[in-house]
A and B are shown apart, each in its own frame.
Chain A
Amino acid sequence: MLFAALLASPGTWRHGYDLSKETGLRSGTLYPLLMRLGEQGLLESCWREAERPGLPARHLYRLTSTGLATAREAAEAEETAAIGHRAGARA
């Protein structure tokens, strides 16, 4: 399901550097996490050719369904604790 969005919305795939900026995690923290998530089947990755010539391909990441479920559980648990009710389910 998520993959169908790949072509329609390339934004769903994330670059390591973008993730680093957004999370505030340095590469030394970020990559071991990404690697571990990947090993656990929670994260998938792919290579994408550079948009401009002369630049190397970039490695992209996004959650697998298992990863999404895990992430959702984590978020729901947090939300339940914070505001006292569960987040709405998504089909």
Chain B
Amino acid sequence: MNLASGPLRRLAFRVARHAAWVLQRVGSPWAEAILHEMHYIEDDREALRWALGGVLASYRAALTAVVQARWRVLFNGLAAGGLLAVLMSMTLNGPASGSPTTMSPSFDEMPCDIPNISTELRARLQCGTVSVPRDYRTPARGVFKLAVVIIRASAKERQPDPVLFLQGGPGTPLTSRAAQVAQNESAILAPDRDLILIDPRGVGRSEPALCPGLPALQLRLFAQDLAPAAFAEAWRDSERDCRQELDQHGIDPAWFGSNVTVEDVELVRRALGISRWNVYGRSYGTTVAMTLMARHPDTLRAVVLDSVYPPDPLPRTRGETADAAMNALFDACRADAGCATAHPDLAATYREAMAGLGKTPLSLPLRPGLGLEIVTLGPLGFATIVERSLYFRPLLAMLPAMIQAVHDRDASALQPLIEHLAEGFLADSAGDQIAVECRDRPSLLSAANARAVESNFGFPDLHDEICGAWAVPGDPPMVTGTPGVPSLLLAAASIRLRHRVSPKRPHERSGRALTSSNSRRSVTTSRSSRPVEPGS
């Protein structure tokens, strides 16, 4: 504004640059903030005062970097209170405060088109949609219809508070799997409670379709045995194209994230006329569940957190836990007489199998309908198959034999496993996964962790890079628990080895958070319901 001017301003800039220099020495990102801001101060004296304050701030920051003073001290200051009040008032009174409470949502019932349902189940199934605002801040921008399926209680006497199942993901559809849920999820189904399934926005049968071609495209990348660099490049391109596709369809990436999902869930509750419900969150669903606990505690009777998704905004555990899960598989094989006899050193067999694929990939055909006729299986594809299989108990038992088969260069044994995983991969909304993760945790990986991922899977994790170009970050999910909502934490309850091993530390952190916030940890079902058993 006032760049070419008198001695006062020149002095101010010299002072501000000094402040920036001090701040940079302590690694603070704020140096430029103060310096740049000065360009916008019209008055020279004012600018000088600003710069001098900047020096003061920089010295304090330098001091703080040494002393690590406790933050509460600052909060006790009146100054902090005043600042918070200003920030808060502007947030609360923002011009676009379209609050969801002003809407009265409804459940629009329609015939169920759920695959593989029995006659018995069909009689208990209710399907429909609930419309939610695309943009909660500007409801005039229209709505998304969310798919909702209710599996009615099988008992005659029904409790008034149903169970909401929040699945893993993000991006994993649920309503289309109602039959599998009804058949397999005995821990979640209570005979005297309705079970509610929702496809979150952008997932499964809910609107909007987020890059519907992306899963098939990415599946083909896995099936090509690309070199790591080429794979990363193609992956990056696919997600960049997806981002452009959103623009073309007028979809704002800021409309996604766990905090938005929670508001959607809340609208579904109101549409269904439920006053309080029980929430069963699994894996990523625990993030949504905990955010729900923080935002809408009064709507919750009880919460089960099964296989807690790493709650940290910056988890550093991903590479670590992938390794730990592999080691647990090797240990489990060693401890099992049959497995140990058949595969005396499964870890070595795996390494050799990977090395063999590195030299010469294996080729195998797939059944029609998956958009892939031939898979060229290289180390990256195989590592991915193994990693994905670690999530599912039925697949776990197959893994040693699969590793042996690849080691022995016999790919045919892998065909059913690959087909099964491909089906799941194609059903997941890859676009939603990016959309949610990039809003929730745009900087997922430390450099060190990215290296760990690379050493494990042979290609760099592109999360942070992709998110950098995806959207402005959203509010982080609220995962510290809330007092007053009875919650049961299942750390080792998952059917999946990957989760049984991996969330140990996340679970401990959540446990601490829940305990420290005085939340009770108790069994959640009533006497008439089937008890929830850890380990089921």
Contact = CB atoms under 8 A, between A and B. Distances in A.
Interface of A: 1-9, 11-12, 14-17, 19-20, 22-37, 39-41, 43-46, 54-59, 61-72, 74-75, 78, 90-91
B87 A71 contact: yes
Contact of A4 (B52, B55, B56, B255): B255
A40 B480 CA distance: 14
Contacts of B255: 4
Contacts of A55: 1, 39-40
A1 B60 contact: no
Given A23-B83, A33-B80, A8 B88 contact: no
Interface string B49-85: 1111111110011001000000100110001111111
A90 B86 CA distance: 17
A8 B138 contact: yes
B189 to A, nearest CB: 30
A62 to B, nearest CB: 7
Contact of A27 (B53, B260, B472): B53
Question: Chain B CB within 10 Å — which of A28, A70, A74 has the most?
Answer: A28
Q: How large is the interface on B (under 10, 10 to 19, 20 to 34, 35 or more residues)?
A: 35 or more
A33 to B, nearest CB: 6
A3 B30 contact: no
A3 B478 CA distance: 15
A68 B88 contact: yes
Interface residues of B, dominant DSSP: helix
Contact of A14 (B40, B51, B87, B473): B87
Given A5-B96, A11-B95, A28-B57, A35 B136 contact: no
A70 B84 contact: yes
A69 B50 CA distance: 30
Contact of B83 (A19, A65, A68, A90): A19
A89 to B, nearest CB: 9
A74 B81 contact: yes
A2 B255 CA distance: 10
A64 to B, nearest CB: 6
Contacts of B55: 28
A33 B56 CA distance: 12
Given A4-B255, A27-B57, A36-B74, 4 more contacts: A5-B97, A14-B90, A19-B86, A27-B56
Interface string B249-285: 0001011010110010010000000000000000000
B34 A31 contact: yes
Interface of B: 1, 3, 28, 30, 32-37, 39-41, 49-57, 60-61, 64, 71, 74-75, 79-88, 90-92, 94-97, 99-101, 135-138, 252, 254-255, 257, 259-260, 263, 266, 294, 313, 439, 472-476, 478
Given A12-B91, A15-B40, A7 B252 contact: yes
A45 to B, nearest CB: 8
A66 B439 contact: no
A19 B74 CA distance: 17
B460 to A, nearest CB: 26
Contacts of A37: 80, 83
8 contacts: A3-B439, A5-B94, A15-B40, A59-B37, A65-B476, A67-B84, A74-B85, A78-B81
Given A3-B254, A41-B313, A91-B101, A32 B475 contact: no
B476 A5 contact: no
A56 B57 contact: no
Nearest to A61: B87
Contacts of A15: 37, 40
- Which 8 pairs across A and B sit closest by C-beta, in order of nearness? A27-B53, A28-B56, A28-B53, A59-B33, A31-B57, A71-B88, A65-B475, A91-B101
A21 to B, nearest CB: 10
Contacts of B257: 3
Contacts of B51: 27
Contacts of A29: 53, 56-57, 79
